[in-house]
Amino acid sequence: MDLADKFLFTALLIVAAAIDGTQAAAMVSGTVFCNQCKDGQISLFDYPLSGTKVTITCADGNGQVTMSREETTNLFGNYVMRFDGTPDLNNCNAQVSGSAQGSNDCGATAGPAQKLRLMFRMFGMEFFGVDSLLSEPAQPMSFCPRSVNPVPPSPVTTPTRPSGPPTGSPPTFKLPPLPRLPPLPPLPPMPPLPSSEASACPHQNWTMPEYKCHWRVLNPESKVALIFGPLAARRYGSDMTLWEGLQGRGDPYKTLLREGTTALLNSYNSLQFPYNSIGVVTRMNWALMGSTRGVLITALRFIRANSGSGRVTCKLTPCK
C-alpha cells in the first residue's frame, strides 16, 4: 500500500466512524499532492497539500453540469464531501480548483481531473474514492531529476555515399570539442527531517520551553479537531489546542488525547518510533469509536511507546 492509498484509507476510516445513524448518503474522499517535478505522478519529492480547493462536478449524458460541490483539504491534504440522499455519482469527476493557502508556488497549474470510484456500500451509505489529485508549480523545482522533462533529440541525418568508385583515401572528420557544462546551481535547503536515531519522549518533555524547536510539523496552537478529525472534535470540542491536550489527566479520554498527541510528536521526531503519524491518528479514531476500556488500552499502548518501553531514551536536545 503506497502513501496515497494510506491517506485515502485513513480518510475513509475517519469518515465511516463519523456517520450518524443509517440515513442514505454518499461520501467522497481523496487527497491532493503538490507535484513539484511536474511529472504527472507521485514521487518522493511530492507532499500532501493543505488548504487547496477541490471541486466535484457531475454531468448528464449531454455533458451538461447537473451538480457541483467544493471543499478544502485539511492539514494532511485530505478532503471529504457528503451528499445526502442517493445521488448518482457515477459520471462525476474531481479536480483541483484553487491554489493552496500559503503555497502559491504549487498552485500555478491544476492536474487532470479524476473520476469517482465506488469503493463499497454499507448501511445505506455509498463510499467513493478518488485517485490522488495533483497541483503543480509553473516550473519544475531545481532539485528535480533532469529527465523529468526530456528534450526531444534532433533528427539524425544519414550521409549518402557518392556514386562511382572511390578515389584516393577517404576524407577524415574532426569533431569539434564538446562545450563545458556550466556550474550546477546549489541545492535548496531541505526541510527538517525526522532523526534516524531511536528516540521516545514522554509528554512532560514536549511541554518544556527548551524543546519547543522540536515541534517539526505540528504547532502547539493547532486544533485537536483539525489534526485528529471529526471524532476528536465531537469528544474534545473544536477549540482545544494540542498544547492544551498535553495537559490532560484524571480521565481516560483526556489521557488518550495527551498520549496520542505525544505519540504524534514522537513519530515526527524519530523514524524509529513504533508508530508513524498515520498509525497514531488511525489508532486514536479506532479508540474513540469503541468503549472506555478500548480507550484505556490504546492510551496505555501510547504511554508504553512514549516511554521507550524501557529500551529507548529521549534524545531531544535543548534549542539554541
Judge whether residue 232 has pLDDT over 60. Answer: yes
Per-residue confidence (pLDDT) for residue 148, from 0 to 100: 46
Tell me the pTM: 0.45
Closest listed residue to residue 301, CA positions, set 288, 289, 283, 313: 283
Q: How many CB atoms lie within 10 A of CB 102?
A: 9
Per-residue confidence (pLDDT) for residue 76, from 0 to 100: 82
Per-residue confidence (pLDDT) for residue 11, from 0 to 100: 56
Please write the tens of the pLDDT for every residue from 252-279.
999 999 999 999 999 988 888 999 988 8
Q: What is the mean pLDDT of residues 38-54?
A: 85
Residue spans of beta strands (DSSP E) within the chain: 25-34, 47-48, 53-59, 65-72, 78-84, 92-98, 109-110, 114-122, 125-130, 133-136
Judge whether residue 307 has pLDDT over 70. Answer: yes
Q: What is the mean pLDDT of residues 303-310?
A: 91
Per-residue confidence (pLDDT) for residue 161, from 0 to 100: 56
Judge whether residue 176 has pLDDT over 50. Answer: yes
Q: Which three cell numbers stand for residue 82?
A: 457528503
Please write the tens of the pLDDT for every residue from 77-115.
889 888 888 888 888 999 999 875 544 578 778 889 999
Q: What is the mean pLDDT of residues 190-207?
A: 79
CA–CA distance, 80 with 31 (Å, rounded to integer): 9
Q: Which three cell numbers stand for residue 246?
A: 498535553
CA–CA distance, 64 with 17 (Å, rounded to integer): 35
Burial status of residue 195 (CB atoms within 10 A of its CB: 0-12, 13-18, 19 or more):
middle
Answer whether 309's CB lies under 8 Å from 266's CB: no
Answer whether 99's CB lies under 8 Å from 33's CB: no
Answer whether 54's CB lies under 8 Å from 32's CB: yes
